[in-house]
Structure 1
Amino acid sequence: MSRRRIGFWYRLAAVIAKPPLIVLLKRDWRGIEHIPAEGGFLTAVNHNSHVDPFAYAHFQYNTGRIPRFLAKSGLFKPPFVGTVMRGTGQIPVFRASTDAATAFRAAVAAVNDGECVVFYPEGTLTRDPDMWPMTSKTGVARVALLTKAPVIPIAQWGANELLPPYAKKPRLLPRKTHHVLVGPPVDLSAYYGQEPTAEVLRSATDTIMMAVTRLLAELRGEPAPGQLYDPRAARRAKEGQ
């Protein structure tokens, strides 16, 4: 299995995106040795800023393993952006649609072809009040159990200080640092061979996200919460007050 070649569109995207990222963010990237040198794999990454997909893509691009993101289908509609998204091999996700299964098939095919597929399992900016990872969608576990490929947990912090969640303006000064910490592959062997029921997929997904959470705790120098924040449970609790 060979690495994905960078190609014209990825080089163009890098030329456009890297200069402002270098200006806006210092870099503290650790654990790169855990990124597989060859073969297909998945990464599971936390999400706490609209800037962090670009900052994370910069990191992943620099490892030499070119990322293929699962991205909202709407991002493929604008003419230029859509052309770049397709040209760089990103995978559209059609939410609340039967076409959502297509994204998983495309992700499985990419991993089996030796590529790096990036999951933001939370699917949106974390709703946790303290910006820890929250309960996530189970697509990452589904693809992991179908392919048995390594799942690399990755925590990031700092883009949220440049552009906090739902903020309208960035905080440019002082210059912020994008911290990334990569961990060893998550051990999912206990789930191999099991029927992929909702319970199995939920448990495997939570195992992945707790690994990400522990890495984020190391980055932040704070103890991690004992369980993932569940926005639906929090909403029900608030309504019941």
Structure 2
Amino acid sequence: MTTVGLLYPGHAAEEDFPRMESLLNGLNLPIVRTDIGEDAHRVDVLQEMGARERLAAGVEELRLSGAESVVWACTSGSFVYGWEGAHEQIRALAAAAGLPASSTAFAFAHAAGALGVRRVAVAATYPPDVTELFVRFLRDAGLDVVAARSSSVVTAAELARWGREHVLQLAATGDHPEAEAVLLPDTALHTVAYLPELEATVGKPVLTGNQVTVWEGLRLAERRGAWSEELGRLFARQGAEALTE
């Protein structure tokens, strides 16, 4: 059994994680919900959401759960600090937890690398200014962002109500002919149930917030052979092999 501890902001799409547990044998995903304060995709609010004291408050519970790695299961609450600031956030989290740590923002960069893709399209739920910060983060990670779409959704609560049609439309309209993969960054968005259909719709790998979060935790825990044909190309056999690299 591999245990990946997740720090998740509030309540939105956390049902994605039990679904992944059921599809990946021998995986335990304990979740500690962090205090989000105000529910808004606004830079100052997101920076407060990802403050080190808020994240540190949940690590003791994850340690007691037997976690082998910890992932801050939030994309915007990491990349809003910029490339260096996001690294500092994760270093502080690792020190507080005494475990390997990362965030969903870094998970996107590592997952794209594992799939061998460099040119990506971003299909974001965020307002334009927040989307632009994610684009900068990805470029700092060495990715070429060929297109970025903003949906200007203000709250996670609204996103949690999005269903299959909304999610498929988001990916389709955010795609670009030159992109080798499409990224859907928000962990407040339910995506895990739709991954095969998402990839069939755009004809290329689709990376989503909750999907890459779990992959990142497995990578940190050095879990071998974690694969499922229901979780997109990242978790296909070749993607699982990248966990060992």
Same-fold call, TM cutoff 0.5: no
Between structure 1 and structure 2, the one with the greater Rg is 1
Higher helix share: 2
- Class of the TM-score when normalised by the shorter of the 2 chains: 0.3 to 0.5
